[in-house]
Chain A
C-alpha cells in the first residue's frame, strides 16, 4: 500500500526538483550569457565621470525609495516594498529553506522565528493582493498588463499561501500540503528565466548599465 501524498512529496523532492533546477539554472545562464555576449557598442568618447563607480552605486541606490513616488503611486510604492522585503525574509530566513542552501552549497546563516516568517508572508500576500487591485482598477496599468504579469503574480502568490497553510496545517493533509508547496516553488523556478521574474537576476546588470552610462557622462543616476 502506498501513501499517494508521500509519493507526490517524493516526486516533488526528487525528479520534480531536478527538472525545475535544470530548467531554471540553464535558463538563467543562457539569458545572462546571451545578454553579455550581445554587448554594447564601445563608447570611444573620453569618460567625464567614473562609469564603474557610478554603476556599482546605482545597483544599490535604485533600491532606495524615489522621492515623490509615494504620492504618485502609493500602493505600488509601499506594496512593492512590502512584497519584496517579505518574500526575501520568508525565502532566505526560514530554517527549512536555509537547510536547502546548506545541503546544496554547504553554507548556513541564522534563521528567523516563525512569528517573523509568518508575519512577513502575511504582509507579502496582502501586498500582492493590493498590487493586483491597482493593476485591475487603474486603466493605464490594466492596459499595460499582459498574461506574463498575471502568471508571475499567481506563481509568486502560490508558494507563500501553500507554505503558510503547510506550516500551520490550516487544511488538507500535511504531507500533501508540503508537496504542493514544493511543486508551486518548482513552477516558479521553471517560469523564472522566461518571465519578468528574471528581473531578480538581471536587475543587477540593468542597474549597473544605466548607472555606468550616467557615470560616463558625469551625471547622477
Chain B
C-alpha cells in the first residue's frame, strides 16, 4: 500500500503542467541532440545541463532524466537509419540497419520505441520496489565498504566501457587525480592549484565533461571529414498484428535482463544491450533470422537498453554511488541543484525521488507518442550541414561552461580539457571512466582516510568487514581472471607466430 501511496505522490509531482512541459522539452531536445553525429548521452547531457540551471529542482531533475532517455532514443534512431554507432547504440546498428536496408525502417523505429516503453515500464516497477530496499542496505555500509564499492565500480566500468582493464583503470586514476585539484577538505591545504585562485574550488565537472566529450568530439568529426548523407527513405510506422506480436516476448526478456544488469556496479545500457542480444540469439523463436534484420534483434536490445538506463539510477539514489559515467554526471547535476543523492534522499526528498520515478514513465509515454511518430521530422537535423552545426555546438559549450559560475575563466579550463580530451582520443583512451573517477575520487579519499583513521592506520579493516571483504574479493577474482586470459592470449599468439615462421 505504501508503494501505491508513494507512487501517487510521485505522479502528483510529475503531472503538474510545468513538470510535464519540462519532461516533454527534455525528451524532445535530448532526442534531437542525441541524433547528431558523435554526440551520445554523455555529451548530450553535458551540453544541455545549463538549460536546467534556472529551473526549480524537481523540474530540472525531470528534464535531465528526459534528456538522458531522449538522447538514448535519438542514438538508436541514428543507428537504425544511418548506421551511425554511438557508444550506447552499437547493437542497434546490427539488426536495426539491416531492417532499414530491407525497407523496414518504420517497423524498426516502431519496435525500438515500443520495446523501450516496455523496458522502461518494467524497470520502473523494479525501481519502485528495489530502490528503497537498497537504501536500507546502504545504512549497513561503513567507510571501508564504500571504498571497496567504489573500487569495484572503477574496475567494472573500466572493463565494460573500454574493453581494456588497464586503459580504463588509468583513466579512472587520472579522474581521481583531477578530483584532487582544489582545497583539501580535511586540512584546508590547497593542492595542485598552481597558485591560481579559480582552481581553489577545484576543476568544474562541466568543464571536464564539455572539454572531453563536446570539444574533443567536434574536433574528431572535423578530422574525419565525413559528410553524412541524410536519410531519405520512406518510414511506415504502423506494423501488422503478427509483427507486433513478435515484439512482446523479446522486449520482456530484454527488460528483465536490462533491469538486472542496470543495478550492478559498472552495469548500464551498453552491457545490457549485448547481453539481451546474445540471449535473444540463443532462445528466440526466430533466432536464425537475428543478424539479418529481425524484429527480435531490435526489440530485445532496445528494451534492455532502456531498462538498464532506468535501473542504473537505483545505486545512485539509494547508496549515493554512481555506477557509470552517465550516472556520475547525473550525480553532479543533483549536487548542482543542492541534492545529495544517497540513502537519505528517499526519506529527505520523497517528492523529488518519487516525482522522478513517475516522470520516467511519463517520459516514456512522451517518447512513444511524440518522438516515434515525429521521427521523420527529427531526422531532418541531418540535413543541416556540419559547417553550421559545429560552431553552434561550440557556442553551447561556451555558454554551458560560463553559466555555472558566470566566470569567463572557466572557458579557458574547458578549452584546456578539450585539448586533453583530443589527446585521449588520439591515444585511444576512453574518457568515460575519467568522469567516474573524477566524481568518486574525493569520496574515495574521504572514506579511505576515515576508515584508516578509525582503524588507527591498519589496512585490515578493508578485509575483515564482510561487505568490503567480499567486494574486494570480487575485484581480486576479476583481476586474476584478466591476468590469466592475458597470459593465455599471449601464449596463443606466440604459438601462432611460431607456427607461421616454421
Q: Do A and B come from one complex?
A: no
Mark B residues whose CB is within 8 Å of A: none
Mark A residues whose CB is within 8 Å of B: none
